[in-house]
Structure 1
């Protein structure tokens, strides 16, 4: 399958969080996302922007838990089978669109496969989450293939796009997302992870 499951989390990444399972730091972003979830106003396409290694993928997993967890909807418990499958990269309602091959780009075939997959809606839960990592690996063709799904979202479909380089993201994609800038983690959060 060209749309791939998420990479599994390491035990160091799975830590208690004020809002989402497995997430350290980024308290302001977590609080904003949690408020939007609680109000039923979560934007369907979110761009997480920040330096490499600060937890963008971990935050995406945590938000996927919040969207799909039956035990703690809107927050995610981090312990139920649904949350564990998300953290292990094995939940059918969370797909990761990743670069392929030596070119390091997300292919048009992968983008089309995710577009077709999202048209069917969630398999098990109330939401279907597509994580694009990194969003700047979308080329013009794969970006345009994904654009229609982002422009005309079906209910319960969420796109989480991750990038270290916002200038490398196609303007047509960027203009349809809610950008959230993430800073470096505090020393205490880094120490807790390490």
Structure 2
């Protein structure tokens, strides 16, 4: 089983990042011009799932306004987490594809009469993970959407989607969160001060940054940077470095991507713009060891490695990471 369809959905909420988007959607809702197919491009941890849940709650409310009444039968069912006319499709595991069978199932649900006599709402998360057959099947539904049925597609990036799917949707992108605004929000949420790099590592995803800090991610990130930079400088501690990278995968590889980009900036004389200002000594040390060409090669190999691990979830992460580390300096 490579995908799942569920009636469960996240708690509805509009986070500050999406307040402008939500205001536009409310106007469309009240003018009866809301599209039957909507595509939202936003990174995980941005609050995108809560936003779509809020949209579903309002769209399914029996009063059909720009906000949910909270009292009708639709709203009560939604609050209980078992509204029968919302279907949320997502890969079963990160990196897994969404198959044709799951798409056909939601297509059948889209054609069925609403169980409560209202709208039907279908959310497909990580739409970039649709297999070719599944994407083509979905395209047919987007071209001729059933009456009263609304499709909402979520993706990290538009780059990996079929142009034909994009063209059939009303496309919205998450605005870029201002670093200082995001930092203030995170500090208020956690009731503690937060270093700048915690926000910079997760630009556009303040919820991910909040969870990163709350879960002890600052210490984990520090151990990854220290272990990697020591290995690059001294070519010692290979197994310790592998262990820490695997222990904190997949975040560890994203952190290293930021770190190596900072190494490039340092070599180009723009060190004042780096994310890892708190680790500037480590950035400088690695920049003195590796050439610009070597850093570019490492980054390309790292991004390829990340794609391989995401697509082929059966790969041995420890082996793949060790091969990448051993290639440093070649």
Shift of 1:85: 3.8
SS at match of 1:98: strand
Deviations along 1:156-189, one digit per CA (max 9) or x if unpaired, are 1111111112112222211111111113554355
- 2:42 and 2:93 map into 1 onto residues whose CA distance is 24
Q: Does the CA-based 8 Å contact 1:54-1:183 persist in structure 2?
A: no
SS at match of 1:3: strand
Q: Does the CA-based 8 Å contact 2:42-2:156 persist in structure 1?
A: yes
SS at match of 1:70: coil
Structure 2 counterpart of 1:140, from 121, 128, 132: 132
Structure number having the greater helix percentage: 2
Shift of 1:37: 0.7
* Compared CA separation, residues 41 and 110, structure 1 to 2 (3 A): same
RMSD: 2.5
- 2:132 and 2:62 map into 1 onto residues whose CA distance is 37
* Compared CA separation, residues 113 and 35, structure 1 to 2 (3 A): same
- 1:192 and 1:107 map into 2 onto residues whose CA distance is 41
- Aligned counterpart, 1:123: 115
- Aligned counterpart, 1:41: 33
Q: Does the CA-based 8 Å contact 2:62-2:118 persist in structure 1?
A: no
* Compared CA separation, residues 72 and 175, structure 1 to 2 (3 A): closer
Q: Does 1:4 align with 2:6?
A: yes
Question: RCO (CA 8 Å, sep 6+): is it higher in 1 or 2?
Answer: 1
Q: Does 1:97 align with 2:89?
A: yes
- 1:79 and 1:30 map into 2 onto residues whose CA distance is 22
TM-score normalised to the size of structure 2? 0.50
TM-score normalised to the size of structure 1? 0.82
Q: Does the CA-based 8 Å contact 2:36-2:145 persist in structure 1?
A: yes
Q: Does the CA-based 8 Å contact 1:66-1:73 persist in structure 2?
A: yes
Structure 2 counterpart of 1:180, from 156, 169, 172: 172
- Aligned counterpart, 1:149: 141
Q: Does the CA-based 8 Å contact 2:128-2:155 persist in structure 1?
A: yes
Query: Which of structures 1 and 2 has the bigger CA Rg?
Result: 2
Structure 1 counterpart of 2:15, from 24, 30, 34: 24
Gaps of 5+ in 2: 191-330
Gaps of 5+ in 1: 10-20
* Compared CA separation, residues 136 and 102, structure 1 to 2 (3 A): closer
Q: Does the CA-based 8 Å contact 2:39-2:154 persist in structure 1?
A: yes
- 1:134 and 1:103 map into 2 onto residues whose CA distance is 9
